[in-house]
């Protein structure tokens, strides 16, 4: 709760600060300090008795603390690697920061909700912030397109979600998770609207976390948005989205798992396959990462499918987010230097700038799930639990698509190490401060350390 | 008395449906905006029928009084920009029809199967008589205080977004 | 503890090396490799005294029940020894090359050797899998960064092939893991385990064993490679730099054989036995097919690559014939083949770096210019064609003997390998070393000191292990007996 308040206040403070002429560094400092304070407030709640606030609208236990920590930690990591993005914003700098803070508020409400109203409002705060941020490059036509597309699709998904929530209320008479859980576990015959409500909530949430076949907005939106926003959406937002998704299904609907388990397993299979198959043909690294994020959403959905082991979800989102952010931060620099995000722009990167090349390679290996990286352990955890739950087909499909995945991730590695840069590209300078290099290096180390000793964060919740 | 109720209910239902369908198929944006007005009025009336008069009035005030007026102004002011009358046309008719009719059957089926009198909240709702506005107000300030407050953030974000989108472009 | 040092020293060395700049990197790498050899010999000594002192277990991933569980058996001892002997020789063999970015090159070689040793000593299936894949990354980069013209495409094919195989194995690994049920080491609740002993104790049905067999076997077969999974191999061997080819052929393909011996045979013994006939047939087709192709090759490197498929095919056939002779033959032939093939690839590298070509037809008369090379080449080549008193002989003899016990017809076909092997090897030797000196070979100089220092130990091993193979046979006898007991009890039950 204190986390939520701190972040909202920092957002307000930043908006007011925009009236005065303050330096970019100070704004960045305020935002970072705010996030650190929020994180501290959040960590204070660790291992305490679950706390309910405001008539149990919010209930915070270890699950929520862990995921809020992941959201805040990953955002700070991303912010530290993105000085170029904020450096380029000319107008309304503080407002941009404020939007990020408010979107974090939304995410925290989404994670720690104990009442569907809170879930809905959290999703809305987050989504509205993202619609705006996606279109924040106003001179870029594709950014405008991304924003509009995201808005229309998002509004549609919101409508479906809301209808689902309403129908569930109609059946159970409660917005509270415990009330809904009680209704579903009571053993009485369930009203048909409960099923439809469940189905619509599933569709709505799937839209929000880009699960196929509701993923079609993802590539265009991820491609059109400023790369920093893409990184934010595909990591931080995914963490919050899946934390809410899992919590909702785990608490409320796990007693009727036999009604939706087949639907979800079909969604998982579709998501991993479509994500991988469409990523093959991509020539732009940004689009490739967009499609790969769809594929990874399939893995995260597997945790919902199994309906247990939040630890696995936690590990997966952290491993995926760190790897993705390292990739996106390199992409941002390359994009700035080369002017586009094509794979050809990465050719010979290892020679021109070894650190960036190495970082990109490690993150690609991790996303592809090669051993000794965090991505491998994440996949092992999830796939064993899926296998254990008896979904052998899902495991087989996941393994087959992982093979495809290796193909496209390695296209980037091949470009980095084995192709030679054009003369023009050899002269590129990749502007990065020493802070950037240190944080990037920490990211690389984290990927490898988590790949060797996953216990560090796996057994937390 | 009962018959009159029935007639009024059917009237507003038809008003809502017909105007909504017309809004969807007409190519003239102004007509669409005005038929949307009728749809909103119909829906508001249905809310009142469901003894949710507060929601009904809010619907009229916000959607009709606010949003719709804005839409009409927006359409009228931009209609002549570039000398091209704004026209709307339908695309993906077949797939759209298929999808929506599937949803329609799904919802209809379940509505037919529901035994409404059994639902607990319907019973609770019938017990409330008279003015619901104070109850909503009290609930917003007690049980739903946090969502009520957090919506402020949502509105703030929306305002912020509006100003960012309308604000000056980067050079 | 000592095993742990042997396992992690190469990784530490690789990390340190990547920080070093300048020419000294070669010597430092060689120093580390020699230190590793000394340690491996100490481990061997310890193994002779008390093998149990070499195993080591501690928690690795408690949430999965995976352990850092390493253990040395006779077969893995032999392969650790092979790795430790070959790595210094391979590093020494690169001294005449000036590879760009040498720190990375040698760091990758050392990292690779560490991962290989990890594969050979891991007693926990997940640990084994991680090392198995980890061995792939360095060799991929070695081959793709310092290789020949077509390296990118060819090495990527190699990489995809092996990774796809490994992913099938991963399904098998997870399945086996989920079948186990042992008390958790801390909470004592029912839990799963990757431990070798727990996996061997599993009671798998025949159907399960059969599909698990293929899930694992495809990964191993691609690595070896066995016909028809071999198509990546000739191209990759040809395109990789000499050191990479030596690593691939000398040590890495032993991973597949070791996998069959150490994991496949004990855990899925019924599946193993049921599918043995298919695999032996495939392997022997591969032997003949690769031998014939080897005869037709014009490029020396490709020739040796195909001969390697033939040799490995025979070893694989021996593994699946499961009797004492064939298993012992396979094990000793693994060692012999590793040493010989490294020697042969090094000789080809020497010839290529002096004349600029590997084309058999355009060379000739080198022995007149380089008698030392000629002599050492003969010794190693005779080892490869399995002449008595060379190291190739005991292995090949035992293998053919073992296969004969399994099936006389197959043994007769496999026996062709001796004749065909002699044909292509001698033909190559004749064309390259004997005959008239031509323009290309006119300025050929004899071996330098470092080259000599590589080839002499190899030739010495060829002769010593050829005359006295008993030492190695004794080393692995216990393991082989144990494996036979495991498989044979089940064969009886099937029959």
* Cis status of the peptide bond prior to A432, with omega within 30 of 0: no
Residue A249: phi and psi, rounded to 5, are -75, -35
State the average pLDDT over residues C455-464. 91
DSSP 8-class letter at A45: T
Q: Of A403, A412, A413, whose CA–CA distance to A283 is shortest? A: A412
Query: To the nearest whole angstrom, how far is the Cα of B127 from the nearest Cα of chain A?
Result: 15
- At A329 the pLDDT is 92
Specify the 3-state DSSP secondary structure of C18. coil
Burial class (CB in 10 A: 0-12, 13-18, 19+), C31: middle
Q: List the single range of B154-163, C184-193, C449-458 with lowest mean pLDDT.
A: C184-193
Residue A19: phi and psi, rounded to 5, are -70, -25
The model's confidence at residue C492, banded by pLDDT at 50, 70 and 90, is: low
Within 10 angstroms of residue A36's Cβ, the number of other Cβ atoms is 13
User: Using only C-alpha atoms, what is the Rg of chain A?
Assistant: 21
Interface size between A and C, measured as CB pairs under 8 A: 73
The CA distance from A139 to B49, in Å, is 49
- The yes-or-no verdict on residue B62 having pLDDT over 80 is yes
Residue A342: phi and psi, rounded to 5, are -65, 155
- The yes-or-no verdict on residue B128 having pLDDT over 70 is no
Q: Is the distance from CB of C319 to CB of C363 less than 8 angstroms?
A: no
Extract the tokens encoding A12.
Answer: 């307000």
Which of A455-459, C131-135, C482-486: highest mean pLDDT?
C131-135
Residue B169: phi and psi, rounded to 5, are -80, 155
State the average pLDDT over residues B120-136. 74
Which of B114, B120, B124 comes nearest A193 by C-beta?
A: B114
Specify the 3-state DSSP secondary structure of A60. strand
Which of A12-21, A317-326, C197-206, C430-439: highest mean pLDDT?
A317-326
State the average pLDDT over residues A211-223. 90
How is A207-240 classified by DSSP, letter by letter?
A: HHTT-TTS-THHHHHHHHS-HHHHHHIIIIIHHH
Residue B90: phi and psi, rounded to 5, are -95, 135
Contact at CB, C152 and A455, closer than 8 angstroms: no
The model's confidence at residue C22, banded by pLDDT at 50, 70 and 90, is: confident
- The yes-or-no verdict on residue C445 having pLDDT over 90 is no
* Higher-pLDDT residue of A102, C445: A102
- The yes-or-no verdict on residue B134 having pLDDT over 80 is yes
B27 touches chain A (CB under 8 A): no
Domains of chain C, by residue range, sit at 276-495
- At B85 the pLDDT is 64
Contact at CB, A403 and C163, closer than 8 angstroms: yes
Question: Which domain, by its residues, includes A178?
Answer: 2-458
Query: pLDDT digits over A400-446, tens only?
Result: 999 999 999 999 999 998 888 777 777 777 777 888 899 999 999 99
The model's confidence at residue B171, banded by pLDDT at 50, 70 and 90, is: low
State the average pLDDT over residues A218-237. 93
Q: Of A333, A335, A296, A288, whose CA–CA distance to A316 is shortest? A: A296
Interface probe, candidates C18, C63, C176, C177, chain A, greatest A C-beta count within 10 A: C63
Q: What is the largest CA-CA distance in chain B?
A: 67
Q: Of C129, C253, C272, C130, whose CA–CA distance to C214 is shortest? A: C272
Contacts of A376 in chain C (CB under 8 A): 130, 133
Burial class (CB in 10 A: 0-12, 13-18, 19+), B108: exposed
Query: pLDDT digits over A230-277, tens only?
Result: 999 999 999 999 999 999 999 999 888 888 999 999 999 999 999 999
Query: pLDDT digits over A111-126, tens only?
Result: 999 999 999 999 999 9
The model's confidence at residue A99, banded by pLDDT at 50, 70 and 90, is: very high
- At C12 the pLDDT is 92
- The yes-or-no verdict on residue B24 having pLDDT over 90 is no
The model's confidence at residue C495, banded by pLDDT at 50, 70 and 90, is: very low
- At C488 the pLDDT is 73
Q: What is the largest CA-CA distance in chain C?
A: 77
- The yes-or-no verdict on residue A91 having pLDDT over 90 is no
Extract the tokens encoding A433.
Answer: 């401060």
B95 touches chain A (CB under 8 A): no
Specify the 3-state DSSP secondary structure of C20. coil
Contact at CB, A92 and B167, closer than 8 angstroms: yes
State the average pLDDT over residues C360-386. 88
Q: Is the distance from CB of C304 to CB of C380 less than 8 angstroms?
A: no
Burial class (CB in 10 A: 0-12, 13-18, 19+), B169: exposed
Q: Is the distance from CB of A131 to CB of A147 less than 8 angstroms?
A: yes
Q: Who's near C262: CB < 8 A, 6+ residues apart?
A: C73, C75, C76
Exposure letters B131-163 (e unless 16+ CB within 10 A, then b)? ebeeeeeeeeeebbebbbebbebbebbbebbee
CA distance between the termini of chain C: 44
The CA distance from B121 to A168, in Å, is 12
State the average pLDDT over residues A65-74. 95
Neighbours of chain C (3+ CB pairs under 8 A): A
Within 10 angstroms of residue C488's Cβ, the number of other Cβ atoms is 14
Strand partners of residue A60: A51
User: For chain A, how many structural domains are there in total?
Assistant: 1
Q: Is the distance from CB of B146 to CB of A122 less than 8 angstroms?
A: no
State the average pLDDT over residues C30-34. 92
CA distance between the termini of chain A: 19
The model's confidence at residue A138, banded by pLDDT at 50, 70 and 90, is: confident
Neighbours of chain A (3+ CB pairs under 8 A): B, C
Which of A311, A370, A419 comes nearest C63 by C-beta?
A: A311
Helices A434-452, A310-338: axis angle to 10 degrees equals 150
- The yes-or-no verdict on residue A310 having pLDDT over 60 is yes
Contacts of B160 in chain A (CB under 8 A): 15, 95, 98-99, 102, 132
Contact at CB, B147 and A57, closer than 8 angstroms: yes
Which of B110, B111, B144 comes nearest A117 by C-beta?
A: B144
State the average pLDDT over residues C57-76. 87
- The yes-or-no verdict on residue C51 having pLDDT over 90 is no
Burial class (CB in 10 A: 0-12, 13-18, 19+), C346: buried
Q: Who's near C419: CB < 8 A, 6+ residues apart?
A: none
Query: pLDDT digits over A25-54, tens only?
Result: 899 999 999 999 999 999 998 988 888 888
- At C74 the pLDDT is 87
Q: Which of residues 99-128 of B touch A (CB under 8 A)?
A: 106-107, 109-111, 113-115, 118-121, 124
- At B79 the pLDDT is 67
Query: pLDDT digits over C381-421, tens only?
Result: 999 888 888 888 988 899 999 999 888 888 888 888 888 98
Strand partners of residue C73: none
Q: Is the distance from CB of C310 to CB of C415 less than 8 angstroms?
A: no
Q: Which value does ipTM take for this structure?
A: 0.92
Query: To the nearest whole angstrom, how far is the Cα of A258 from the nearest Cα of chain B?
Result: 19
User: Using only C-alpha atoms, what is the Rg of chain B?
Assistant: 21
Interface size between A and B, measured as CB pairs under 8 A: 103
* Higher-pLDDT residue of C475, A360: A360
């Amino acid at each position: 709760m204190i986390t939520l308040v701190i972040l909202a206040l920092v957002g307000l403070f930043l908006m007011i600060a925009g009236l005065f002429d303050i330096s970019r560094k100070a704004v960045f400092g305020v935002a970072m300090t705010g996030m650190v304070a929020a994180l501290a407030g959040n960590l204070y709640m660790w291992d305490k008795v679950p706390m309910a606030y405001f008539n149990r609208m919010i209930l915070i236990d270890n699950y929520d603390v862990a995921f809020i920590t992941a959201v805040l930690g990953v955002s700070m990591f991303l912010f530290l690697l993105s000085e170029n993005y904020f450096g380029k914003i000319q107008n309304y700098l503080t407002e941009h920061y404020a939007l990020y803070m408010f979107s974090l508020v939304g995410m925290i409400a989404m994670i720690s909700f104990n009442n569907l109203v809170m879930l809905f409002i959290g999703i809305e705060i987050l989504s509205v912030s993202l619609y705006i941020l996606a279109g924040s490059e106003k001179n870029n036509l594709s950014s405008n397109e991304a924003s509009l597309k995201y808005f229309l699709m998002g509004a549609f998904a919101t409508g479906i979600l809301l209808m689902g929530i309403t129908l569930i209320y109609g059946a159970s008479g409660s917005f509270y998770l415990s009330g809904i859980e009680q209704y579903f576990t009571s053993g009485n015959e369930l009203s048909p609207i409960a099923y439809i409500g469940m189905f619509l909530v599933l569709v709505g949430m799937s839209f929000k976390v880009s699960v196929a076949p509701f993923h079609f907005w993802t590539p265009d939106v991820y491609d059109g948005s400023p790369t920093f926003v893409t990184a934010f959406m595909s990591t931080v937002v995914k963490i919050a989205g899946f934390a809410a998704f899992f919590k909702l299904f785990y608490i409320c609907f796990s007693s009727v798992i036999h009604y939706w388990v087949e639907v979800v397993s079909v969604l998982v299979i579709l998501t991993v396959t479509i994500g991988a198959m469409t990523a093959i043909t991509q020539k732009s690294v940004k689009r490739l990462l967009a499609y790969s994020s769809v594929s990874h959403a399939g893995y995260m959905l597997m945790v919902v499918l199994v309906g247990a082991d939040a630890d696995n979800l936690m590990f997966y989102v952290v491993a995926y987010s760190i790897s993705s952010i390292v990739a996106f931060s390199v992409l941002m620099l390359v994009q700035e230097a080369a002017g586009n995000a094509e794979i050809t722009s990465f050719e010979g990167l290892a020679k021109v700038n070894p650190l960036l090349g190495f970082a990109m390679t490690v993150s690609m290996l991790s996303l592809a799930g090669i051993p000794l990286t965090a991505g491998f352990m994440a996949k092992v955890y999830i796939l064993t639990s899926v296998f254990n739950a008896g979904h052998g087909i899902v495991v087989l499909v996941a393994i087959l698509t992982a093979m495809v995945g290796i193909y496209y991730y390695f296209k980037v590695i091949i470009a980095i190490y084995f192709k030679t840069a054009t003369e023009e590209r050899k002269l590129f300078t990749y502007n990065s401060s020493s802070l950037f290099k240190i944080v990037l290096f920490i990211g690389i180390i984290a990927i490898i350390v988590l790949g060797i000793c996953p216990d560090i964060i796996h057994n937390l919740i | 008395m009962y018959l009159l109720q029935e007639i009024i209910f059917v009237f507003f239902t038809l008003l809502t449906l017909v105007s909504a369908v017309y809004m969807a198929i007409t190519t003239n944006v102004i007509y669409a905006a005005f038929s949307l007005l009728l749809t909103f009025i119909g829906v508001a009336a249905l809310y009142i029928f469901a003894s949710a008069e507060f929601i009904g009035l809010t619907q009229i005030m916000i959607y009709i009084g606010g949003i719709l007026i804005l839409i009409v102004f927006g359409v009228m002011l931009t209609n002549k920009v570039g000398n091209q009358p704004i026209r709307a046309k339908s695309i993906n008719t077949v797939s759209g029809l298929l999808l929506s009719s599937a949803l329609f059957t799904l919802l209809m089926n379940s509505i037919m199967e529901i035994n409404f009198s059994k639902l607990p909240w319907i019973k609770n709702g019938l017990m409330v008589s008279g003015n619901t506005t104070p109850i909503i107000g009290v609930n917003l300030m007690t049980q739903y205080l946090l969502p009520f407050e957090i919506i402020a953030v949502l509105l703030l974000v929306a305002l912020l977004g509006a100003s960012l989108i309308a604000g000056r472009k980067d050079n | 503890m000592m095993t742990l040092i042997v396992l992690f020293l190469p990784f530490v060395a690789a990390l340190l090396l990547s920080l070093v700049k300048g020419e000294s990197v070669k010597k430092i790498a060689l120093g580390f490799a020699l230190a590793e050899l000394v340690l491996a010999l100490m481990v061997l000594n310890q193994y002779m005294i008390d093998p149990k002192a070499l195993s080591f277990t501690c928690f690795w991933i408690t949430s999965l029940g995976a352990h850092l569980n390493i253990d040395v058996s006779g077969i893995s001892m032999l392969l650790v020894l092979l790795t430790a002997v070959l790595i210094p020789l391979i590093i020494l063999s690169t001294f005449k090359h000036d590879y760009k970015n040498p720190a990375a090159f040698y760091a990758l070689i050392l990292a690779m050797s560490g991962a290989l040793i990890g594969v050979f000593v891991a007693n926990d299936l997940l640990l084994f899998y991680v090392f198995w894949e980890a061995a792939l990354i360095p060799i991929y980069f070695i081959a793709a960064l310092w290789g020949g013209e077509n390296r990118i495409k060819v090495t990527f094919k190699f990489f995809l092939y092996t990774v796809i195989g490994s992913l099938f194995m991963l399904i098998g690994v997870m399945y086996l893991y989920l079948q186990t049920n042992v008390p958790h080491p801390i909470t004592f609740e029912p839990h799963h385990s990757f431990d070798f002993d727990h996996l061997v104790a599993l009671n798998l049905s025949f159907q399960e064993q059969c599909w698990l067999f293929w899930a694992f076997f495809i990964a191993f077969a691609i690595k070896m490679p066995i016909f028809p999974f071999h198509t990546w191999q000739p191209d990759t061997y040809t395109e990789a730099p000499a050191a990479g080819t030596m690593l691939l052929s000398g040590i890495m393909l032993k991973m597949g054989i070791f996998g069959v011996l150490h994991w496949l045979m004990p855990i899925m013994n019924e599946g193993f036995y049921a599918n043995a006939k298919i695999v032996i047939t495939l392997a022997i087709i591969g032997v003949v097919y690769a031998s014939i192709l080897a005869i037709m090759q014009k490029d020396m490197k490709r020739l040796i690559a195909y001969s390697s498929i033939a040799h490995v095919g025979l070893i694989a056939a021996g593994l699946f014939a499961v009797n004492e002779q064939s298993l012992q033959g396979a094990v000793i032939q693994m060692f012999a083949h590793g040493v010989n093939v490294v020697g042969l690839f090094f000789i080809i590298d020497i010839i290529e770096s002096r004349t600029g070509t590997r084309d058999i037809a355009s060379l000739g008369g080198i022995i007149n210019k380089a008698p030392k090379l000629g002599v050492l080449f003969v010794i190693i080549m005779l080892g490869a064609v399995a002449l008595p008193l060379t190291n190739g002989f005991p292995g090949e003899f035992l293998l053919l003997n073992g296969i004969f016990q399994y099936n006389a017809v197959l043994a007769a076909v496999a026996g062709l390998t001796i004749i065909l092997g002699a044909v292509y090897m001698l033909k190559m030797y004749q064309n390259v070393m004997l005959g008239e000196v031509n323009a290309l070979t006119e300025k050929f100089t004899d071996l330098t000191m470092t080259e000599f220092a590589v080839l002499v130990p190899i030739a010495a091993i060829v002769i010593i292990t050829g005359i006295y193979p008993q030492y190695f046979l004794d080393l692995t006898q216990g393991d082989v007996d144990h494996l036979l007991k495991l498989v044979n009890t089940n064969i009886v039950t099937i029959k």
